[in-house]
Amino acid sequence: MLNETPKVIFPCDYPIKIIGENHSDFKSQVTTVLENSVANFDQNLTSTRISKRGTWIALTVNIIATGKPQLDAIFHDLKACSHVRLVL
């Protein structure tokens, strides 16, 4: 029983944290990926934090995930963005 992987039941609310360089294109790159991958993506469900020195920015977005293939595609596309450094 301890070896069972937790199962996610789709559709579900799913938070994604994206960390990257605090660059003027960062938010637009992330928004473009999410608008292309998530039906009815709501930017109002996004929180932003900037690092103390202003070098990095962290976005937390909440989406309605429809399945693992969708999440895999989102993570792949976000990691391909030039200013994104980490996707959790």
pLDDT tens per residue across span 42-63: 888 899 999 999 999 999 999 9
50 contacts: CB under 8 Å, gap ≥ 6: 22, 56, 57, 58
Average the pLDDT over 23-43 and give the result: 93
User: Does a structural domain hold residue 4?
Assistant: no
pTM for the whole thing? Answer: 0.87
pLDDT of residue 44: 86
How does strand 84-87 pair with strand 12-21?
antiparallel
Instruction: Give the number of domains in the chain.
Output: 1
Q: Is the pLDDT of residue 16 over 80?
A: yes
C-alpha–C-alpha distance, residues 6 and 34, integer Å: 25
User: Does a structural domain hold residue 1?
Assistant: no
Its sign, for the CA torsion 31, 54, 13, 68, is: positive
Q: Is the pLDDT of residue 12 over 90?
A: yes
Is the peptide bond prior to 11 cis by the omega test (within 30 degrees of 0)? yes
What domain range includes position 82? 12-87
